[in-house]
Amino acid sequence: MSYALLKRSLITDLDTVAARYPDVPRLIILKTDVQRRGVFYADAALELLDETLHQTTGTHIFGARDGKTAVRPESLLLRDGTSIITTPTPLEEDPYVVDVLDGDAWLFDNGTPVEPVDYWPAPAYYAKKSRSGVPMKHIVSARPQRLNIFPYRYCTFWNNAKGCAFCDIVVQLKKGRDLLNIPAKLDPVEVGEVIGEALKEQGRFSTIFLTSGSITSGERPFDDEVDYFIALLKEVGKNFRTHKYPSQMIGTAFEKEQLKRLYDKTGLTSYTSDLEVLDEGLFNRYCPGKREWIGYKEWKRRLVDAVDVFGYGRVNTGLVAGIELAGPHGFQSEDLALERTLSEAEDLARQGVSTVFIVWSPRPDTPLGKYKNASLDYYIRLARGLHQLRIKYRLPIDHDSYRNCGNHPDTDLSRILPLWESEL
Amino acid sequence: MTGELLQRVGGLLAEAGTIATIATIDEHGAPQSVPTPFLQLDEAGRLVHLELLETSSTHRNLLGSIWFDRPVSVTLSGRNDEVLVISGRVYKALVSGLRFSRFYRKVRSQLGDADLAAVWLIEPLKIHDETYQVRKAQEETFHPFYFHLDRLVIHRDSI
């Protein structure tokens, strides 16, 4: 008998929560809970893993919750096409278990089979090497419909120990370099070539995505980061017959002139800059580098400026949801945290900036790693609240949708946002 | 689901002149029916519907069906007036992978510069034979009170 079935119970916590939110799809509640609690792969589930067919872990800019670098499924797909982006988690932390039922991979909760899952399919280019001999998947990684470029695996906020309190980018950089030979900084020409190779696979990719750690240097702060992104996007753009192509970049909050440069000189079509937490005091505490170089209010102002450059519904900010409740400095109740977060999100939404969240995954090598993330109810209420703001302010979120990202329960709900163009 | 009716579904889908439509309902319960020209039956006995547009009403309704367990139905109309109506539940949406890519290439080989949003798999739950001659015979056998009497009148001039 499998590990999962040994612990079987009849009613899951998921069912209890799902009953409270009949307007939220059970599949999205499940995704959120799996991201919240993580997964543990039983041996039988790992035996189903075939590196020629499935993506495996190891290419990411952030680490796993169990701190290991090992061959495991990169992530999971649910029956509705929803991605679950989650990390392997030690059994002691009560994760969902991926095990085998009738020959197929299933998610189990406390021994009860909950849903069948597919491992992310491996793209064809994953088997190839780049011109410098590096496996292409270490230059450009993939999601089910997205190409990921993580060009710079360092963040200069860490130079004076002011990196974000939930972030393990530097620890992961070292692991990637030592264990997988992943270059810390990518050559734009090589990136463009790998993208070209990836695009030979028809019907696979819908968007190009870039993100890196912040680079504070330059004539103006962050000019070097902007210039590097421009060089990368220009090389990527050589693969397309149109100047603009579906794309998203998560960068630092740039000045308007820098944003214009990015938009005018490249094919970039959307822009994301993460505030991480929507409260100035917590932002200052948990993101000291962002505070030092830009500040909370200025970050918000630059996001609004970006709407002038990229367009309404093409700019958003991301939250690491749950850190606002962590530890002694967090909000004392989920109601207070929700009220504050949605109030700030509304202030941004009325100015054309959308807010999305990822479920915070406490990582062992981070200052906040010892705390737990929020309740499932909290994340569902947050997802509903952000989705409702998009409806209220008629804010599309196509560029950060289930296809183009897949990491946000709130934008999963927005798969059925009203189609405002039908009113024209 | 197995059996003779499912075999007839496969047979009808294999015929060139068959017209297939898929009917879905939206969040308010309003029905919508559109042609599904690429419809086929897969090896597991599921209907395969190709949805080309991410923002089409049918795609959004199918998503609503898999999220909230709303039924869907597919109607097949054959060249010889044979009509089968299949009611079912949405089982899965494929959005990536080898099988998706095969259908993507198929769509583009037939339509040129087209896209594919999802491959929807629909589990048939019930198949009704709605062929007029079949239903007419059933109705006349089991519901003999629903005739217009003039159909039974003896036409003297034809004697």
Q: Do A81 and B27 touch (CB under 8 A)?
A: no
The neighbour count for residue A87, using CB atoms within 10 Å, is 22
Nearest to A138 by CA among A108, A181, A173: A181
Residue of B nearest to A404 (CA): B95
Distance of CA A367 to the CA centre of its chain: 20
Which parts of chain A register pLDDT below 50?
1
Instruction: Find the CB nearest B101 among A27, A118, A203.
Output: A203
Quick one: tokens of B56? 């089409």
Half-sphere exposure of B7 (CA within 13 A, CB side): 2
Place of tokens 């109030």: A343
- Substitution target in B24, B63, B96 with the highest count of A β-carbons within 10 Å is B96
A79 vs chain B: nearest CA distance in angstroms?
5
Count of A–B CB contacts within 8 Å?
A: 53
Give CATH superfamily name and number for B4-131: Electron Transport, Fmn-binding Protein; Chain A (2.30.110.10)
Check: CB of residue B89 under 8 Å from CB of residue B65: yes
Residue of A nearest to B107 (CA): A203
Kindly provide the residue ranges of all beta strands, DSSP E only, lying in A176-297, ordered along the sequence: 207-211, 247-250, 271-272
Residue of B nearest to A418 (CA): B55
Q: Do β-strands A96-101 and A104-109 pair in parallel, antiparallel, or remain unpaired?
A: antiparallel
Spatial CB neighbours of B24, under 8 Å, sequence gap ≥ 6: B31, B32, B33, B57, B58, B61, B62, B64, B65, B70, B72
Amino acid at residue number A131: R
Check: CB of residue A422 under 8 Å from CB of residue B26: no
B27 vs chain A: nearest CA distance in angstroms?
10
Instruction: Find the CB nearest A79 among B27, B66, B68.
Output: B66
Question: What domains does chain A contain, in order, with CATH numbers?
Answer: 3-119 (no CATH), 124-423 (3.20.20.70)
Sheet hosting strand A146-149, strand order edge to edge? A140-142, A146-149, A207-211, A247-250, A271-272, A315-321, A354-359
Q: What is the pLDDT of residues A372-397, one digit of tens each?
A: 999 999 999 999 999 999 999 999 99
A216 vs chain B: nearest CA distance in angstroms?
37
**Cα–Cα distance between A367 and A345 in angstroms, integer?**
26
**Cα–Cα distance between A297 and A274 in angstroms, integer?**
13
Instruction: Find the CB nearest A415 among B63, B98, B101.
Output: B63
**Cα–Cα distance between A276 and A165 in angstroms, integer?**
10
Cα angle: B91, vertex B92, B93; to 5 degrees: 145
Q: Do B63 and A79 touch (CB under 8 A)?
A: no
Distance of CA A110 to the CA centre of its chain: 27
Check: CB of residue A395 under 8 Å from CB of residue A312: yes
Q: What is the pLDDT of residues A276-315, one digit of tens each?
A: 999 999 999 999 999 999 999 999 999 999 999 999 999 9
- Output the pLDDT for position B2: 56
Instruction: Find the CB nearest B101 among A118, A201, A415.
Output: A201
Check: CB of residue A269 under 8 Å from CB of residue A306: no
Spatial CB neighbours of A113, under 8 Å, sequence gap ≥ 6: A4, A101, A106, A107
- Output the pLDDT for position A1: 44
Q: Do A25 and B91 touch (CB under 8 A)?
A: no
Quick one: tokens of B131? 């062929």
- Substitution target in B28, B66, B95 with the highest count of A β-carbons within 10 Å is B95
Going by the DSSP 8-state scheme, the letter that residue B50 receives in this structure is E
Nearest to B93 by CA among A298, A196, A415: A415
Place of tokens 């939206």: B26
Q: Do B93 and A403 touch (CB under 8 A)?
A: no
From chain A, the residues in CB contact with B118 under 8 A are 81
Check: CB of residue A117 under 8 Å from CB of residue A108: no
Using CA atoms, how far residue B60 sits from A135, B55, B103, in Å, is 38, 7, 20
Q: Do B104 and A25 touch (CB under 8 A)?
A: no
Q: Do B95 and A121 touch (CB under 8 A)?
A: no
What is the pLDDT of chain A when averaged over all its residues? 92
Which parts of chain B register pLDDT below 50?
none
- Output the pLDDT for position A71: 83
A117 vs chain B: nearest CA distance in angstroms?
11
Using CA atoms, how far residue A334 sits from A223, A340, A387, B15, B76, in Å, is 39, 10, 18, 59, 52
Cα angle: A388, vertex A34, B91; to 5 degrees: 80
Quick one: tokens of A124? 């064809």
**Cα–Cα distance between A320 and A317 in angstroms, integer?**
10
Check: CB of residue B95 under 8 Å from CB of residue B50: no
B126 pairs with which residues across the strands? B87
Q: Do B101 and A415 touch (CB under 8 A)?
A: no
Q: Do A203 and B104 touch (CB under 8 A)?
A: yes
Domain boundaries, chain B: 4-131
* Residues of A at the B interface, defined by Cβ within 8 angstroms: 25-28, 77, 79-81, 118, 120-121, 144-145, 201-204, 403, 415-416, 419
Asked whether the CA dihedral A196, A197, A203, A207 is positive or negative, the reply is negative
Instruction: Find the CB nearest B92 among A79, A145, A403.
Output: A79
φ and ψ of B15, to 5 deg: -85, 140
Rg of chain B, C-alpha, whole Å? 19
**Cα–Cα distance between A153 and A150 in angstroms, integer?**
7
- Output the pLDDT for position A152: 87
Using CA atoms, how far residue B47 sits from A153, A255, B70, B99, B122, in Å, is 45, 52, 16, 14, 5
Spatial CB neighbours of A134, under 8 Å, sequence gap ≥ 6: A181, A182, A183
Q: Do β-strands A118-119 and A76-77 pair in parallel, antiparallel, or remain unpaired?
A: antiparallel
